[in-house]
Amino acid sequence: MTDYQIDPSLQQSVPSAEERMEEAYGALVREREEGIAGYYNLPEDSRLVIDEVEAQAASTPEIQAADTIVVIGIGGSSLGAKALDQALRPLHAGAKRILFLENPDPLELQAKFARIDKSKSLFLVISKSGGTIETTSIFKAAIEHFGLEIDGADRKRVIVITDKDSILNRYADDHGLQSYLIPHNVGGRFSVLSAVGMVPLTLAGYDTRAILEGARKLVDDFFGRRADHLLRKGIFLAEHWERYRINVLFAYGSYLEDFTKWYVQLWGESLGKIDAEGKRVGLTPAGHIGSVDQHSFLQLIIEGPRDKSVTFLQIADFGEDLTIPRISLKHIEKNDYINGHSFAELLNAECDATRESIAGEGIPTDLIRMDRLDEAHLGELILYYELLTSIVGAALHIDTYNQPGVELGKKILVTKFQTKD
């Protein structure tokens, strides 16, 4: 179970808030019914992907022998799976290792190549468009470094995930590579519950069906009007974005760091747009880890510009009872009040105290409190943020699913290299 607590100040909106909620809800219903955004259907549709992956694994010795999944992809093609892998790995010691080759940083690539044994690895090449320059470049480097025989002995070690009829899909067909398709109406940053995330996570050994089930329950609750807290929060953020321009996600759990990075891409790429009237709109995302960043960013929140809203993400049960020893240190006895309490108690008390201090300053806050960190709760969390993003986008009257600002930089990059040639 996940509990959602919205601070009273975050529920205050304009007199037309209820109308705006209905308008945003209707927009998401239309997106779902007309197929404008396909992520709403992934919790059901991706079950077939899992079935196919498991069947392939059962009949492929190379997959059975592999202990490492090498994901070659960037942005939406890697961040979601990376977030789930990081969050779940402490609970699944037997999961196969996943290495993410994302950034064309030569030092990092060489270091990661050195950790890969081709004979025990699978290579997943992920690109929705099929032509992502970072991904294709790293794939070429892997082919050369490991001597991958794409048309021979290593064919079953390489799996492609892309759009139907993309240039990467055509490459896979030409070489007889196993490929999985991303639905055409699912953008990269909304694709973690598609083959993009389900294939590597299933191969690694995680319970991906539970991830989908957690997501499905929230989809059903939202469209069944049992999760209107999402609408209230989304409308507040959209109505007051010019005052509260920055939305801070404070996650209290070290293994949620990659989740905050996924949220930053989802939020920034979806909500920073020019609207139909030519106005620049959007909310800036900031992802932080408690309690570490309490010792830095919190100062800016409390005494800096009042341009932020803050969401706290808390885990009720870490499944770990590590306790602070009953030891008294000379001259530091003032801290003995914490002796005998668990570190989970300490971390969550810090979360509660920080939220109380921020809310006391009149800064809008809300809390997402998960019972525990597992597949079902994380699947729900993924859908929570995807739905919230769509609600805010609908309320801002923008196209939540395009990214013209990103595409411009890609075009300029191409011209730079073409000019050099």
First to last CA, the chain: 57
* Order of all β-strands in the sheet with 284-290: 2-6, 365-372, 308-317, 246-252, 284-290
Structure tokens that stand for 177 in this block: 């590579």
Sign of the four-CA dihedral 85, 203, 93, 217: positive
Rg (CA), the chain: 23
* Alpha-carbon span 180 to 38, nearest angstrom: 16
Contact (CB, 8 A) for 71 and 99: yes
* Alpha-carbon span 349 to 235, nearest angstrom: 29
Catalytic-residue membership of 295: yes
Q: List the catalytic residue out of 33, 295, 331, 420.
A: 295
Q: Looking at 283-403, list the stretches that DSSP marks H as alpha helix, in order from N- to C-terminal side.
A: 297-303, 343-359, 375-396
Dmax (CA) for the chain in angstroms is 72
Q: List the catalytic residue out of 31, 269, 380, 386.
A: 269
Catalytic-residue membership of 19: no
Mapped onto helix, strand or coil, the DSSP state of residue 359 is: helix
Give 362-383 as a 3 state SS string. Answer: CCCEEEEEEEECCHHHHHHHHH
CB atoms within 10 A of CB 283: 24
Burial of residue 309 (CB within 10 Å: 0-12, 13-18, 19+) is: buried
Catalytic-residue membership of 410: yes
- b (16+ CB within 10 A) / e for 104-123: eeeeebeebbeebebeebbb
* Alpha-carbon span 196 to 100, nearest angstrom: 13
Instruction: Give catalytic residue positions.
Output: 269, 295, 410
